[in-house]
Amino acid sequence: MGESRAQFERDAVEFASRAVKFDLEGNPGPAAYYYREAAQALQSAMLSGSQVACISDKANEYLKRAEELVKLTSSTHLPVTSNAQQLQLDRAKFLLSQALDEDERDNYQDALELYTQAVELCLQARAATDDKTLHEKLTSIASQGLERCVTLE
């Protein structure tokens, strides 16, 4: 029993090392596989009587990371333009937020410039997308920014 426990522990270390290596190299598929294998080896070691501290927590940590990587690989199959457009939406929201902050501080010139940048970014992204939801969000942000520009001028 002690020999199999020790083997499970060694396997867990080997699998975890491989998982981390693949994870650092940006290979989520193999990394997820080895994280799951490491978790399974840790669970087997625990059932065999392992006294390693926090072994259950570490197994759960590996399973959680494997799940994150699986989600990451499934989401990377989305079109690149969709991700780029989402980034543009996020940037436009950020610019609008910064503009509102400057507006509240009575820095109207800076606010006007930031509102203008947000509106321009929204219009560019909106023209490049076929996604209706994204189109609506970009239109809403552009409208907010434009309304404030008109008010400040």
pTM of the model: 0.49
Confidence of residue 83 (pLDDT cuts 50, 70, 90): low
Report the distance separating Cα 94 and Cα 141, nearest Å.
Answer: 10
Q: Which domains does the chain have, with CATH numbers?
A: 2-75 (1.20.58.80), 80-152 (1.20.58.80)
| Residue whose C-alpha is closest to residue 137's, from 73, 92, 74, 102 | 92
Q: Bigger pLDDT: 54 or 109?
A: 109
Predicted confidence at residue 144, as pLDDT, reads 92
What is the per-residue pLDDT for 69?
Answer: 83
Looking at residue 16, its amino acid is: A
Please say if the pLDDT value at position 80 is more than 50: no
Mean pLDDT of the chain: 85
- Ranges of H-type helices in 77-131: 80-104, 108-127
Cα–Cα distance, 40 to 25 (Å, whole number): 23
How far is the C-alpha of 66 from the C-alpha of 32, rounded, in Å?
4
Amino acid symbol at 147 = E
Residue the block writes with tokens 């920014």: 145
Q: What pLDDT does residue 37 have?
A: 94
Question: Tens of pLDDT along 86-128?
Answer: 778 878 888 888 888 888 889 889 899 989 999 998 998 888 8
Instruction: Measure the CA–CA gap between 92 and 116, rounded to whole angstroms.
Output: 10
